[in-house]
Structure 1
Amino acid sequence: MKILIVDDDDSLRTMLKDLCEKDGIEAETAADGQSGFNLFRKQDYDILIVDYHMPVMNGLELVQEIRLENQQIPILVLTEDNHQDVANAFRKAGATDFALKPAKELDIISRIHLHIQIANMRKRLESEEDVYSAKGISKGTLEAVAHFLKEHRGQILLILFHKVSD
């Protein structure tokens, strides 16, 4: 598993990189959106963690550019802005998750693992294997859940946003 962390806050980048590496996840970092986009185009990543307010290219612009290249990669946005219009803009741009700063280590690592599980299920579904998760969920059930999540994506992100901001 390989993560790209894009944030202009050096201490947060270092904390997130260390957190991932302690958990056995390879992580690379970039200090601005343009540098992050350049790394993304050169390497394969499984998850992106993106800050909103950055120099050169902000997080929203980065998410939009990434989605032109890759529709599937999970993108977790970190920001201090807890305004609904910001969350909506990121959702429309294609972000898959949204968390408020200051980031709590347990929250971030659990979100990363959730996205790893989702990515692994998606890969298995795409490979047409007979898929069963650790809980014994059948391929048909997973497809039904995936369809429901896709159809209700905006509502789910809104619920997650409100839960995180509580």
Structure 2
Amino acid sequence: MSKVLVVDDEKSMRITLSEFLSNDGYETASAPDAQSALKMIEEEEFDIILTDIIMPKISGIELLSQIREKSQTVQVIIMTGEPTVDTAVKAVQSGANDYLTKPIKRDVLLKAIRHAEQIKLLNDEKLILEKENLIYQKGLEGILLERTTALQNAMQGIITLLSSVVEARDPYTAGHQRRVGNLSAAIADRMNLGTKVVEFMRIIGYIHDVGKIVIPTEILSKPGTLNPLEMQMIRTHALSGYDMLLKVDLPSFVGETIFQHHERCDGSGYPRGLKDKDITVEAKIIMVADVVEAMMSHRPYRPALGLDAALHEIQQNAGVYYHQDIVSSCVELFRKDYYEIEDLEHKIHFPI
């Protein structure tokens, strides 16, 4: 089981939360303030840190920032008794993995901790794969065939792991990234953009929503309409995905494309409001594939709308939200080539 540090200036809160966790098999420790917590973190390793926001001298947000300077994999869950839009958004932007509103019920706490534990394990595995990838790059320079195979396998592992991280957090869209990746690759192929672009489109599609691992599960799987705070938090995932991929050995345009996949050609998208000429062709393909797949699939808040509705949406907004040539290729793919959305995870042929 994971090791959890509870940080709160209220003794009763520390005792109650620690007891909840201990009874569920977690190894726990507690600290009355951020200073004590930082000292404990220096002396021993924790998998999950559960911290209050409002504390004397050093706040939970400041504690979070200092933790993130040392580790990106430790899961940090913020607790607050006074939730506001600014506080919640600042917590997520500072690197919080989840947040809980006081008073905290036992089942809500344990659900959040279990999600954090799962993400921590996946992130640790990702680091191991990245280290293996680095070893391959440094150690197999003289044997081209072996090096290529090793890099392909390591990259396949990293892409698969990044994709599975999102699915662990967002079960309602399990397979969404694979379907978007496969559709994006098919569109690029129909546009005769070349093998290299086709393979990169599949890779980008498979991980385009990786930034959603920072979004609380309750928001990702919410069955109703999102409120303004929740929508604002959802919209941080494009930047979060971009920041995460800066640390992975992938070409820079992969992260930039993921950063742009919710932009729109008329400038009405997010997070930067980019217009047509500033958006990569890869992002323009992903945005079309993303919309089509999403409309064709079930979501917690609505049933699947079907292919006709999806194609009507992109055709109606071709030249406005979406690039005309990409829309035409996508429509022809379904109408002339009889393409069918597929869940299969293809073996990635990484263009080296």
Residues 120-161 of structure 1: CA distance to partner in whole angstroms, max 9, x if unpaired? 122223333xxxxxxxxx95544224444543467x359367
Match of 2:163 in 1: 144
2 CA distance for matches of 1:56 and 1:82?
Answer: 20
Q: CA deviation at 1:82?
A: 1.6
Q: Residues 31-50 of structure 1 correspond to what in structure 2 (within 5 A)?
A: 31-50=32-51
Partner SS state of residue 144, structure 1: helix
**Partner residue of 1:83?**
84
Which consecutive residues of structure 1, in runs of 5 or more, have no partner in the other structure? 129-137
**Pairwise mapping of residues 17-166 of structure 1 onto structure 2 (< 5 A)?**
17-128=18-129, 140-146=159-165, 147-152=207-212, 156-157=215-216, 159=219, 162=230
TM-score, with normalisation over the residues of structure 1? 0.82
Tell me: CA distance 1:106–1:80, structure 2 relative to 1, closer, same or farther (3 Å). Answer: same
How far apart, CA to CA, are the structure 1 residues paired with 2:112 and 2:4? Answer: 12
Helix, strand or coil for the counterpart of 2:99? strand
RMSD, matched Cα: 2.5
CA distance in 2, matches of 1:57, 1:114: 27
Q: Residues 4-23 of structure 1 correspond to what in structure 2 (within 5 A)? A: 4-23=5-24
In 2: Cα distance, 1:149 partner to 1:31 partner:
37
Once the two structures are aligned, what percentage of the paired residues are identical?
A: 28
Is contact 2:6-2:31 (8 Å) kept?
yes
Contact 2:61 2:91 in 1 (8 A): yes
Distance 2:58 2:35 in 1: 5
Counterpart of 1:144, as a letter, is S
The one of the two structures with greater contact order (alpha-carbon pairs below 8 A, sep at least 6) is 1
Distance (whole Å) between structure 1 residues aligned to residue 64 and residue 80 of structure 2? 13
Q: Note the alpha carbon deviations across 1:25-44, whole angstroms, 9 max, x for none.
A: 11000011111111111110
Tell me, what secondary structure is at the counterpart of 1:82? coil
Structure 2 Cα separation of the partners of residues 86 and 148 of structure 1: 27
Structure of greater Rg: 2
Cα shift at 1:101:
0.4
* Alignment partner, residue 135 of structure 1: none
Runs (5+) with no aligned partner, structure 2: 130-155, 166-206, 221-228, 231-352
The structure with the largest strand share of the pair is 1
Distance change >3 Å, CA 40–CA 148, structure 1 → 2: farther
Distance across 2 between alignment mates of 1:153 and 1:114: 10
User: SS where residue 58 of structure 2 aligns?
Assistant: coil
Distance 1:124 1:152, change over 3 A: closer
Shift of 1:80: 1.1
Question: What is the CA–CA distance in structure 2 between the aligned matches of 1:150 and 1:141, rounded to whole Å?
Answer: 11
The 1:21–1:149 alpha-carbon spacing in structure 2 relative to 1, beyond 3 Å, is: farther
SS at match of 2:6: strand
Aligned residue for 1:127, secondary structure, equals helix
Q: Determine if contact 2:50/2:76 at 8 Å carries over to the other structure.
A: yes
Deviation string for 1:13-35 (max 9, x for gaps)? 00111111111111000011111
Tell me: CA distance 1:18–1:70, structure 2 relative to 1, closer, same or farther (3 Å). same
| Distance (whole Å) between structure 2 residues aligned to residue 24 and residue 152 of structure 1 | 28
Aligned positions, number: 154
Paired letter, 1:94: G
In 1, distance between residues paired with 2:37 and 2:59? 10
Give the counterpart letter for 1:79 in structure 2.
T
